Amino acid sequence: MLCAFAFRFRISVMRVMIRRLFVLTFVVLSSANAADRTSLPFVSPMFGDNMVLQRGKPNTLWGWSRPGDAVRVEIAGHAAQTETRSDGRWQLQIQPPEPGGPYTVKIDGAQHVVLRNVLVGDVWLCGGQSNMQLGLSRARNGADEIKAADQPEIRLYSVAQNVAYSPAAVPQGAWKICSPETVADFSAVAYFFARRLREDVPVPVGLIADSLGGSPAESWMSPESLRGFKDFDAALAEIERLKTQDGPEHGSFLMHWLDRYDVGLKDETWAAPDIEESLWKNVRIPGGFEELGVADVPSVCWFRKEITLPDPLPPGRATLFLGSIDKMDTAYVNGQWVWASSWVENPRVYHVREGVLKPGQNLVALRVFKMTPQGGFLSKPDWLRFELGDGTTIPLAGEWKGRVSVDARPPHPLPLDVENYPTMPTVLHQGMIAPVAPLALTGAIWYQGEANFTRAYQYRTLLPALIGDWRRLFGQGDFPFYIVSLPAFMKRSDEPGDDAWAELREAQALTARQVRNTGLAVTVDTGDADDIHPKDKKVVGERLALCALAQHYGKTIPCQGPTFRSVERLTGALKLHFDHADGGLVVKGDKLGEFSVAGKDRRWHWADARIEGDAIVVSSAMAPDPEAARYAWQANPAATLFNGAGLPAVPFRTDDWPVSTETRKP
């Protein structure tokens, strides 16, 4: 059984790897509602050439005009009209024609708009974090898949990344025809989902990719849905306070905290090349904090160093290497922002944009927020260097100038959260989900959970609340919602015990069992121990499609692997009964594993297991009177149990014993 230290270590390491969720997508996000406040379009950007209208139900279309203006929409002999409301929004419903197309949509009012090459079929909302966002070019065999992606009846819409503290009105994006030229950066999971659907249901498919790397589930939920969770009260109150302030909507509590307290970015930015340095001290990097008197306390410090570059500058991209930094750093060159990161263990490798450098003297400035005595620069001196396009290296370790900007020792307040990318509750719902509604949909697919795994017990209620929140927003009943169960990740544990990643999978499975019209795509037999972004996205998309085909489209096909139903006590053993044993229980690999059992002492031991019909008997000499059993209960298990249809068993436990309190923190 994992000792407490080992368990905490696994949690810590997994937190490190979670940071990779945002590396693909880190951007500096400006205010979400700037466009909304200035110019609202006659027709929402959700509607355009090449789009897909949802078949079989009224479609809501909307836009903005002068109050009282008449608006008329027509498609293939179907017409509807309305009058613009006093708030400037017009909205109407129109019945679509038969599936297929192409059709032309005419919208008349203060303007005349024609939408061409419109299809009628099924529209799916594709949400989550970076594994949903990951593009086809990064998937396994991506280049070959892109070449074969001539799928003109699949249409693609990517909702642009947007943070908002109040509901945004206007999404940014455009519909595209799926082709080798358009699909490379589109969600691989969503693409494979649609392609598999069309094998059995040959109607057009519209995919709306609405995801952002590193985002926790609560970022995709409305304020109303989170008020029942007391865990988020402080965050929601702070967002309300921030709404009254002028300034950017970062989506990050840390960035707002820096805006408020960092004097290095006040009247005179400390990144500027020609500021007065009489108040700055000589320091040595790595290090620097001790000389500034803040070695053992939270602080924000700035560091500056001049370097001399050759004339002419060599061609090619210059790169700034800073090693690992705890907790968050921002890098500037010649007064211009280069990059920033709060992923502690990730060595900083920052590329400098063309035009920033010049021959002769150049200034490198760093802002570092250190939270612990062990924080700051973590790498050896030779990690710190500036590398020019021709490979010339300029060492950066040694003498710098330093100055304290924020001495954050108590009672100075610290930020509610210490990530520098959008993780605040509600901000992605407001900026990226609200402006899409109430578009007519078939349903949603969801690949998320990595950012919530240390709060897996909370996720048992958080994910159902998110589903209900989206369904209320779109106002189309309990539409299908299919969930990706997290794949294998991290180094495999040699001993059975508690595991937060497994508990997150359990929360996903509980949601799929308890919430109406949901399904679970199990992927525990896939993944990568060393990469939280596994490349095999085809199997993920196709298993989501099996859920939709069986549960929504009524196809008589298996969509679920063996699912634990009940446990029977035997003498010295437990007999586990399963549903969805289509074609019988099947072992993949040398032997049936990975089962464990525990007695009254709640100490877990690996178990011997054998198949008996549609059941499995488990036992262990180390637990002669077993009370409970678990299967595949770790982040990266040996998942060997399948059904005859080739679908993996859902990881499960028969006990409801509490696990480490660390997995339950709000």
Q: In this structure, what CATH number is given to the domain that contains residue 513?
A: 3.40.50.1110
Tell me whether residue 229 is in a domain.
Answer: no
Q: Are residues 526 and 590 in the same domain?
A: no
Q: Are residues 444 and 299 in the same domain?
A: no
Q: Which of 360, 379, 407 is the last residue of a domain?
A: 407
Asked if 215 contacts 422 with a C-beta cutoff of 8 angstroms, the reply is yes
Tell me whether residue 184 is in a domain.
Answer: yes
Tell me whether residue 558 is in a domain.
Answer: no
Q: Are residues 389 and 451 in the same domain?
A: no
Tell me whether residue 10 is in a domain.
Answer: no
Q: Are residues 446 and 546 in the same domain?
A: yes
Q: Are residues 79 and 189 in the same domain?
A: yes
Q: Are residues 76 and 208 in the same domain?
A: yes
Burial pattern 466-504, b for ≥16 Cβ within 10 A else e, equals bbbbbbebbebeebbbbbbbbbbbbeebeebbbbbbbbb
Domain total in the chain: 3
pTM of the model: 0.91
Q: Are residues 513 and 590 in the same domain?
A: no
Find the domain containing 194 and state its range. 34-220+426-551
Measured between alpha carbons, how far is 506 from 30 in angstroms, rounded to an integer?
Answer: 37
Tell me whether residue 5 is in a domain.
Answer: no
| Residue located via tokens 């997994």 | 14
In the chain, the amino acid numbered 558 is P
Tell me whether residue 70 is in a domain.
Answer: yes
Q: Determine the pLDDT at residue 21.
A: 44
Q: Are residues 511 and 465 in the same domain?
A: yes
Tell me whether residue 246 is in a domain.
Answer: no
What 3-state class would DSSP assign to 434?
helix
Q: Which of 528, 551, 574 is the last residue of a domain?
A: 551
Averaged pLDDT, groups of 10, the chain, 666 residues long: 42 47 39 49 98 98 98 97 98 98 98 98 98 97 97 98 97 97 98 98 98 96 95 96 93 95 92 94 97 97 97 96 96 97 89 96 98 94 96 97 97 94 97 98 98 96 98 98 97 95 98 98 96 96 98 97 97 97 94 96 97 97 97 97 97 84 36
Q: Are residues 156 and 43 in the same domain?
A: yes
Q: Determine the pLDDT at residue 338.
A: 97
Q: Are residues 70 and 118 in the same domain?
A: yes
Q: Are residues 451 and 344 in the same domain?
A: no
Q: At what angle do helices 253-261 and 233-243 cross, to 10 degrees?
A: 50
Handedness of CA 221, 418, 533, 512 (dihedral sign): negative
Q: Determine the pLDDT at residue 478.
A: 98
Measured between alpha carbons, how far is 424 from 254 in angstroms, rounded to an integer?
Answer: 10
Q: At what angle do helices 4-18 and 500-514 cross, to 10 degrees?
A: 70
Tell me whether residue 607 is in a domain.
Answer: yes
Q: Are residues 613 and 506 in the same domain?
A: no
Q: Which of 375, 407, 439 is the last residue of a domain?
A: 407
